[in-house]
Amino acid sequence: MIQVIWYKRDLRVRDHAPLFHATQSGSVLPLYILEPFLFEKDVFSKRHLQFIIESLEDLKRSLASIHLPLYIYIGDVIEIFDQIYHHYGPFQLHSHMEHGTNLTYERDLSIKKWTDNKNILWTEYKTFGVNRAKGFKFRLRDFHGWLKEGVIPVPKDPTAFKDEHHIFMHTISDMHHIQIQGDVVSFFKGGESEGIKRAKAFFNQRYKKYQVYINKPSLSIHSSSLLSPYLAFGNLSIRMLHLSTQKHLKDIQDPFLKDQLEAFEKRLYWHCHFIQRVERHPELNEVAWDKKLEGLRVTNQVYLTAFKEGKTGFPIIDACMRALQLRGWINFKQRAMIASFASNVLLLDWRDVGFVLGSYFIDYEPGIHWSQIQMQAGLNPYRHVPMYDIIKQSLMHDKDATFIHEMIPELKHIQTPDVFTPWELKDNPYMNPIIDLKTSFESSKTLLYQKKKQKKQDHNLFGEDL
Ligand SMILES: Cc1cc2nc3c(=O)[nH]c(=O)nc-3n(C[C@H](O)[C@H](O)[C@H](O)COP(=O)(O)OP(=O)(O)OC[C@H]3O[C@@H](n4cnc5c(N)ncnc54)[C@H](O)[C@@H]3O)c2cc1C
């Protein structure tokens, strides 16, 4: 029987359970389906599509090296499954579990209905350290067991499916014609080979200042792993990355260097912890975790556009947004600051903030992204509303203004500390700020803090402390 491998956000051959198991049972049809509805409704933009295209080109080469083709379909999943069924009869379906918002969750429910109707066996394999059946309680125990199972080998000599009825007419190049918003970024190139190259560079050298530079906008780009997009599109398996980190940790003697890599390993654990949330609550991008602050923020479109375009008049905020436009990446600390500024000072609706940022972040991962957006908007019922003093943040993390000067050349001739508050100069050499920072900061803070202090009225989204 034909074994269909449905590739989604798992664009690799190494440690790939669907690929391995499919090849044990029959002729193999590796298939990537580009679903236009995701590009219309989700945060995806041109940069994500470009990353996917590059990943598919790399995947095609890797599959060819084990004599397998890669089939492409642009359209609806059930449409192409129907065609396979019609022309070739029943098949078995293999895929990794997808942990996304309702968009992909509801799509998966309809696929399940279709496979049940047709009596087709659909096996979904574990993708991350996320527990589908039992949730948070068993997550870590289960994850450690999964790590211990080790890396799944790339199959040897599989039997390839041949499309004798010519139902697959699309190619990877056809994807370039899809009309979607946004720009491409050249800073990241998609693909498993590139992911492995970057992981090696990290373990060889970059990690040595991981913790030291982690919050610095101009330095973390040289010391963070930058592996997030490769995890988000599955060019790298989280299990392989954990196991490699553990192996490198064993070889490191220097306590300082060990600390650096241990800090990285800790963050790898956060990855799956956050994704577990969206597995349980696929409405995480729509429904507030704690509803107390709902209704207080109504998006002002002028502010939203200024934020999106990096034209708020606040150098550190604009520098972050311009870095995102340019590279698709900034570090955690700056992400937290801009998300909090937009939601808690400009009082933009957190969903709009999440949408804008998600379309820029090349590593958009629904579970991490929407959890963080909600946390930075003060919607974690067990934490305060984070209010960052953006001037202090500039002084702490970009004290020589290297980052601001790099991203905002108009300010190159303005020295520190003036460059952090150019509106206070007699002749502001930069654009005027869209708000009065002090007044807005204080009034927004009072509003949000007062509401936050009120007693819980509704059950929160999770109903438990996470
Ligand atoms: C508002 C906001 C939105 C975010 N959206 C995303 C997103 O869409 N996708 C995404 O991968 N990360 C997101 N993050 C988390 C974090 O900023 C990025 O994972 C990190 O900056 C990626 O860079 P890196 O690969 O060099 O990370 P490293 O510091 O090298 O860490 C290694 C890996 O650990 C994981 N990790 C690191 N920090 C976190 C964290 N705080 N939470 C969960 N996992 C983490 C990531 O998979 C990362 O690739 C977001 C953070 C905030 C504040």
Q: How do residues 408-447 score in pLDDT, each as one tens digit?
A: 999 999 999 999 999 999 999 999 999 999 999 999 999 9
Q: Are residues 342 and 304 in the same domain?
A: yes
User: How large is the average pLDDT for residues 322-349?
Assistant: 98
Task: Judge whether residue 404 has pLDDT over 80.
Answer: yes
What's the CA-to-centroid distance between 63 and ligand 1, angstroms? 29
What's the CA-to-centroid distance between 110 and ligand 1, angstroms? 31
Please report which residue ranges of 281-349 form alpha helices under DSSP H. 301-309, 315-327, 332-340
Residue 71, pLDDT score? 98
For the CA of 369, the nearest atom of ligand 1: 5
CA dist., res. 338 & res. 330, Å (int): 10
Contacts for 226 with CB less than 8 Å, ≥ 6 apart: 188, 198, 202, 329
The number of domains in the chain is: 3
What's the CA-to-centroid distance between 233 and ligand 1, angstroms? 14
Buried/exposed 165-176: b ≥16 CB within 10 Å, e otherwise: eeebebebeebe
Q: Is the CB of 224 under 6 A from ligand 1?
A: yes
Q: Is the CB of 268 under 6 A from ligand 1?
A: yes
Q: Are residues 217 and 365 in the same domain?
A: no
For the CA of 230, the nearest atom of ligand 1: 49
Q: Are residues 270 and 399 in the same domain?
A: no
Q: Are residues 208 and 302 in the same domain?
A: no
Phi-psi region for residue 192, left (φ > 0), alpha (ψ -120 to 50) or beta?
A: alpha
Helix axes 350-360, 332-340, angle to 10 degrees: 150
Structure tokens at 214: 């982690």
CA dist., res. 360 & res. 335, Å (int): 11
User: Is residue 130 one of the residues assigned to a domain?
Assistant: no
Structure tokens at 354: 């999440």
Q: Is the CB of 98 under 6 A from ligand 1?
A: no
Task: Judge whether residue 120 has pLDDT over 50.
Answer: yes
Residue 466, pLDDT score? 44
Q: What's the CATH number where 62 sits?
A: 3.40.50.620
CA dist., res. 3 & res. 29, Å (int): 6
For the CA of 268, the nearest atom of ligand 1: 34
- Looking at 125, 149, 176, the residue that finishes a domain is 125
Q: Are residues 308 and 371 in the same domain?
A: yes
| Secondary structure of residue 357 in the 3-state scheme | helix
What's the CA-to-centroid distance between 2 and ligand 1, angstroms? 38
What's the CA-to-centroid distance between 229 and ligand 1, angstroms? 9
Q: Are residues 259 and 301 in the same domain?
A: no
Structure tokens at 184: 């491409």
For the CA of 226, the nearest atom of ligand 1: 26
Q: Is the CB of 107 under 6 A from ligand 1?
A: no
User: Is residue 394 one of the residues assigned to a domain?
Assistant: yes
Cis bond upstream, residue 90 (ω within 30): no
Structure tokens at 416: 């520190």
- Looking at 280, 311, 338, the residue that finishes a domain is 280
Beta bridge partners of 139: none
What's the sign of the alpha-carbon dihedral 33, 37, 41, 47? positive
Q: Are residues 249 and 311 in the same domain?
A: no
Position 453 confidence tier, pLDDT thresholds 50, 70, 90: confident
Mutation probe of ligand 1 site: the residue of 274, 317, 363 with most atoms within 8 A of C-beta: 363
Residue type at 55 in one-letter notation: S
Residue 76, pLDDT score? 97
User: Is residue 139 one of the residues assigned to a domain?
Assistant: no
User: How large is the average pLDDT for residues 28-45?
Assistant: 94
CA dist., res. 58 & res. 49, Å (int): 14
Q: What's the CATH number where 409 sits?
A: 1.10.579.10
Q: What is the pLDDT of residues 147-176, one digit of tens each?
A: 999 999 999 999 999 999 999 999 999 999
Residue 460, pLDDT score? 64
Q: Show the CA angle centred on residue 325, arms to residues 324 and 326, nearest 5°.
A: 90
Report the candidate in 294, 292, 263, 321 with the shortest Cα–Cα distance to residue 382: 292
Cis bond upstream, residue 417 (ω within 30): yes
- Give me the phi and psi of 18, to 5 degrees please: -60, -40
User: How large is the average pLDDT for residues 23-33?
Assistant: 96
What's the CA-to-centroid distance between 105 and ligand 1, angstroms? 22
Q: Are residues 211 and 97 in the same domain?
A: no
Residue 146, pLDDT score? 92
Considering only CA atoms, which residue is closest to atom 22 of ligand 1?
228
Residue 72, pLDDT score? 98
User: How large is the average pLDDT for residues 304-325?
Assistant: 98
User: Is residue 17 one of the residues assigned to a domain?
Assistant: yes
User: Is residue 187 one of the residues assigned to a domain?
Assistant: no
Report the candidate in 313, 370, 311, 319 with the shortest Cα–Cα distance to residue 343: 370
Summary count for the chain: helices (H), strands (E): 20, 6
Q: Is the CB of 327 under 6 A from ligand 1?
A: no
Mutation probe of ligand 1 site: the residue of 260, 267, 356, 357 with most atoms within 8 A of C-beta: 267
CA dist., res. 23 & res. 343, Å (int): 48
What's the CA-to-centroid distance between 228 and ligand 1, angstroms? 6
For the CA of 338, the nearest atom of ligand 1: 1
User: How large is the average pLDDT for residues 204-215?
Assistant: 97
User: Is residue 226 one of the residues assigned to a domain?
Assistant: yes
Angstrom distances, CA of residue 154 to CA of 9, 21, 22: 18, 10, 12
For the CA of 228, the nearest atom of ligand 1: 49
Q: What is the pLDDT of residues 242-266, one digit of tens each?
A: 999 999 999 999 999 999 999 999 9
| Secondary structure of residue 117 in the 3-state scheme | helix
Q: Are residues 414 and 348 in the same domain?
A: yes
Report the candidate in 14, 16, 12 with the shortest Cα–Cα distance to residue 94: 16
Q: Are residues 79 and 44 in the same domain?
A: yes
Task: Judge whether residue 135 has pLDDT over 80.
Answer: no
What's the sign of the alpha-carbon dihedral 388, 392, 397, 398? positive
**Boundaries of domain holding 440:** 291-453
Counting every residue written for the chain, the total comes to: 466
What's the CA-to-centroid distance between 217 and ligand 1, angstroms? 14
Q: Is the CB of 2 under 6 A from ligand 1?
A: no
- Looking at 106, 125, 144, the residue that finishes a domain is 125
| Secondary structure of residue 161 in the 3-state scheme | coil
Q: Are residues 314 and 428 in the same domain?
A: yes
User: Is residue 345 one of the residues assigned to a domain?
Assistant: yes
User: Is residue 155 one of the residues assigned to a domain?
Assistant: no
Contacts for 290 with CB less than 8 Å, ≥ 6 apart: 379, 380, 381, 456, 460, 461
Burial class (CB in 10 A: 0-12, 13-18, 19+), 230: buried
Residues of the chain above pLDDT 70, percent: 97
Q: What's the CATH number where 259 sits?
A: 1.25.40.80
Q: Write the DSSP symbol of residue 342.
A: I
What's the CA-to-centroid distance between 200 and ligand 1, angstroms? 19
Position 456 confidence tier, pLDDT thresholds 50, 70, 90: low
Summary mean pLDDT of the chain: 95
User: How large is the average pLDDT for residues 268-273?
Assistant: 95
Residue 419, pLDDT score? 98
Residues of the chain above pLDDT 90, percent: 91
Q: Show the CA angle centred on residue 193, arms to residues 190 and 196, nearest 5°.
A: 100
Please give the helix or strand (H or E) that residue 34 lies within, else none: strand 27-34
User: How large is the average pLDDT for residues 47-73?
Assistant: 98
What's the CA-to-centroid distance between 455 and ligand 1, angstroms? 32
Q: Are residues 216 and 300 in the same domain?
A: no
